[in-house]
Amino acid sequence: MPRQTTKSIYWQGVRDGAPFILVIVPFSVLFGVVATEAGLNVLETMGFSVLVIAGAAQFTALQLLSDGAPTAIALISALAVNLRMAMYSASLTPYIGGASLGQRALAAYFTVDQSYACAIVKFEANPGWSIPQRLSYFFGVVTAICPLWYVFTLVGALVGTSIPQGLALDFALPITFLAMIAPMLRTPAHLAAAFVSVTMSLIFAFLPYNLGLLIAGVAGMMVGAQVEVTRERRIAPPTGDTS
């Protein structure tokens, strides 16, 4: 493979982020519509999408405020939905922790499910990338999706009609994520982590504030790490026993 330039890596990020346009556009239009119907003006609606930039948390806060929940409850619930972002931050630290403070802050602001998912796949696959190359890739993905998040929130707020249900775009999110997850399942440890994650998130789906996902995430990470250790022990000792 020819040596990759930082610029070509940026465009690779843009291309890898592009399929998520199918997720971002309907989701942001929907937020604009729902927020407007809840009585928010354009500035307030855009305030959500620009300052928070996290769909599920925005919907949670809006829903609770519309239901007349106390301000603190709405805030805490929506933050709980976003707790997985701290896991993403930890996961990205070994790769971009050496960047400048400003770059890390900018990357943090743009850390969403899609940018994280794309980035972690490519960072693992390209351990030789420099920090500037990693950031280029990350911001390439961000370029493909985040501006559309703002623009189509505005479209939803102004036009006020959602994308027709018949297109079944609700399922764009599961399909794009599953397509990204499947190639990540390289080792028994990765498979075990994913299996535990799915099982736990279904079992604990009844919990409020998306807490089931946190349990699933932590349990999946622990199982993945444990399987890795167990397999290393089995492979490492030179006993000649090839089980």
Interacting span for other proteins (CB under 8 A) from 3-11, 140-148, 149-157, 214-222: 214-222
> For other proteins, which is the closer residue by CB, 64 or 148?
64
The Cα–Cα gap between 164 and 44 comes to: 25
The Cα–Cα gap between 45 and 55 comes to: 12
> For other proteins, which is the closer residue by CB, 7 or 124?
124
Tell me how many residues contact other proteins (CB under 8 A).
93
The Cα–Cα gap between 157 and 30 comes to: 9
Determine which residue in the list 4, 6, 8, 66 makes contact with other proteins, applying CB under 8 A. 66
* 30 in Cβ contact with 156 (< 8 Å): yes
> For other proteins, which is the closer residue by CB, 115 or 143?
115
Q: Which amino acid appears at position 34 of this protein?
A: V
Interacting span for other proteins (CB under 8 A) from 6-14, 100-108, 145-153, 154-162: 100-108
Q: Does 219 bind other proteins (CB under 8 A)?
A: yes
Q: Quick one: which H or E segment has residue 93? A: helix 84-96
Report the b/e string of 52-91 with b at 16+ CB within 10 A: ebbbebbbbbbebbeeeeeeeebeebbebbbebbeebbee
CA distances from 220 to 127, 178, 186 (A): 23, 16, 15
The Cα–Cα gap between 32 and 150 comes to: 10
Among positions 135-164, residues that touch other proteins (CB under 8 A) are none
Determine which residue in the list 24, 25, 33, 40 makes contact with other proteins, applying CB under 8 A. 40
Interacting span for other proteins (CB under 8 A) from 3-11, 133-141, 220-228, 233-241: 220-228
Shortest distance in whole angstroms from residue 76 CB to other proteins: 9
Shortest distance in whole angstroms from residue 243 CB to other proteins: 22
Interacting span for other proteins (CB under 8 A) from 5-13, 99-107, 137-145, 154-162: 99-107
Q: Does 33 bind other proteins (CB under 8 A)?
A: no
Q: Does 38 bind other proteins (CB under 8 A)?
A: yes
Shortest distance in whole angstroms from residue 240 CB to other proteins: 27
Q: Does 235 bind other proteins (CB under 8 A)?
A: no
Helices (H) and strands (E) in the chain, counts: 12, 0
> For other proteins, which is the closer residue by CB, 7 or 231?
231
CA distances from 165 to 112, 125, 169, 171, 218 (A): 25, 37, 7, 11, 34
> For other proteins, which is the closer residue by CB, 206 or 242?
206
Q: Does 25 bind other proteins (CB under 8 A)?
A: no
Nearest to 148 by CA among 12, 7, 29: 29
